[in-house]
Amino acid sequence: MEDNVKELENQALKELVKVNDFKSLSEFKVKYLGKQGMYTALLKEMKNIPSDERPKFGAIINTSRQKIENIIYETEERLNAQELENKLSQQKIDITEPAKNTQQGQVHPLYKVMNKIIETCVEMGFTVVDGPEIETDYYNFEALNIPKDHPARDMQDSFYITQNLIMRSQTSAMQIRAMETMKPPIKIISPGRTYRADSDATHSPVFHQLEGLVVDENVSMIDLKAILTQLLKTLFGDNTKIRFRPSFFPFTEPSVEVDATCPMCGGKGCPRCKGSGYMELLGAGMVNPTVLENCGIDSKKYSGFAFGFGLDRFAIIEYKVPSIKMMFENDIKFLSQIK
Ligand SMILES: [Zn+2]
């Protein structure tokens, strides 16, 4: 019996040395250690030997089996190392190969224009303030001298969240917030996103405005004209001619609309400016004394002017883009053309 075990062990060891892949290792395990395997068969033969000798032989068989299991484990380690070695020798990394080109991002054209305007205004002494995009009816309309039944509300189809909360339809709301929290002299601009239920080639439901406000003693229409002329000449060039036309806004009195010579044709007249040579750019005016009083500012001592314009309009003029919608479609092909 002992010889049988030794013989089986030697046979197994000889075979195991030849095992060179996982498949034959698995076959080896089944052949020797499986339920129908040779070591199991040997154990079954124990019934033929006297019962007092069985424990001794049981121990011999188990020791031998353990030895084979240990060598199987070592063989597995050897095969794993061999496999890794094969992979490493096959997968070559060429460190001299040029890297793939990655696409570099850039500032959105709209924000390029916005930043240029902000920079110009900051150079003229304005401070930039930011405000909430969800506004109360009070800040968006009421305090700007636009009560509930005012026809000016019809011009601005707003997105209402509740009866009292709306997506701000104009950055003018920031005038009120600034005047409530700051003391004159006030000289601020407030750029940002605004929302109206309006959608065609020149209107988008989301658009961008920039609001400017100056409040101090002895501020007059002359200051308004000087600041806006300087701003528009910086943006569109020194040869730009500026035109002020009387207009109406509930929160300014008197109010003006400001045109500049068409940057496309330089004032000669083209399809873009419908032959007029001018482009309507922004609305402005002297802050209505009612609005000053609404914010607790003494309208007898202080006066102010405000201006507001659509940044998107400036951007489509600057980059000669046919539709405002292209600014919001995030089409990389289009955006990457604008440098
Ligand atoms: Zn033109």
Walk along the chain (339 residues) in steps of 10 and give the mean pLDDT of each run.
83 87 90 87 82 85 89 90 89 83 84 90 93 88 80 73 87 85 92 85 82 94 94 87 92 93 84 86 93 91 93 81 80 82
CA 314 to ligand 1 center in whole angstroms: 14
- Residue 160 and residue 208 in one domain: yes
Cβ(213)–Cβ(178) below 8 Å? yes
Q: For residue 330, what is the DSSP state?
A: -
In angstroms, the CA 269 to CA 276 distance is 5
CATH classification of the domain holding 152: 3.30.930.10
Do residue 180 and residue 267 come from a single domain? yes
Distance 17 CA to ligand 1 centre (A): 90
Number of residues assigned to the chain: 339
Q: Say how many Å lie between the CA of residue 320 and the centre of ligand 1.
A: 11
13 and 137 housed in the same domain: no
Helices (H), 34-172: 38-44, 54-90, 109-123, 137-140, 152-155
Distance of CA 260 from the midpoint of ligand 1 (Å): 10
Does one domain contain both 83 and 213? no
| 226 and 157 share one domain | yes
Q: Does the residue 101 lie in any domain?
A: no
Domain boundary among 63, 90, 117: 90
Q: Is 115 within the bounds of a domain?
A: yes
Distance separating the N- and C-terminal Cα atoms of the chain: 91
Using the mean position of ligand 1's atoms as its centre, give its distance from the Cα of residue 284 in Å. 23
Asked whether residue 103 is assigned to any structural domain, the reply reads: no
Q: Are residues 227 and 135 in the same domain?
A: yes
Using the 3D structure, point to which of 90, 117, 137 is the last residue of a domain: 90
| Structural domains of the chain, count | 2
- Domain shared by 180 and 86, yes or no: no
Supply the pLDDT for residue 325: 80
Instruction: Specify the DSSP class assigned to residue 200.
Output: B
Crossing angle of helices 109-123 and 221-236, in 10° steps, is 130
Cα-to-centroid distance, 174 and ligand 1 (Å) = 33
Question: In 3D, which of 264, 280, 283, 261 has the Cα closest to residue 272?
Answer: 264
| Distance from Cα 241 to the centre of ligand 1, integer Å | 13
Does a structural domain hold residue 297?
A: yes
Same domain, 162 and 79: no
The C-alpha atoms of residue 227 and residue 306 are separated, in whole angstroms, by 11
Question: 58 is in which domain, residue-wise?
Answer: 2-90
What local confidence, expressed as pLDDT, does residue 148 receive?
A: 80
Phi-psi region of 266 (alpha: psi -120 to 50; beta: other; left: phi over 0): left
Q: Do residues 86 and 119 share a domain?
A: no
The predicted pLDDT at position 298 comes to: 94
The pLDDT of residue 204: 80
Determine the distance separating the centroid of ligand 1 and the alpha carbon of 261, expressed in angstroms.
Answer: 8
In a domain, 203, yes or no: yes
User: For residue 240, what are the contacts with CB-CB under 8 A and spacing of at least 6?
Assistant: 232, 233, 260, 261, 263
**Do 70 and 170 sit in the same domain of this protein?**
no
Quote the pLDDT of residue 152: 67
* Residue 85 and residue 150 in one domain: no
Report the pLDDT value the prediction gives residue 246, as an integer from 0 to 100: 96
Q: How far is CA 259 from CA 20, 283, 326, in A?
A: 87, 9, 24
Question: DSSP 3-state assignment of 75?
Answer: helix
One domain, residues 85 and 119: no
What angle separates helix 2-18 from helix 54-90, to the nearest 10 degrees?
0
Q: Within 13 Å of residue 288, how many CA atoms lie on the same side as its CB?
A: 17
pLDDT at 139: 86
Global pTM value: 0.65
Token output for 248: 């109406």
What is the CA angle 102-105-109, rounded to 5?
150
Q: How far is the CA of 317 from the centre of ligand 1 (A)?
A: 10
CA of 237 to the centre of ligand 1 (A): 15
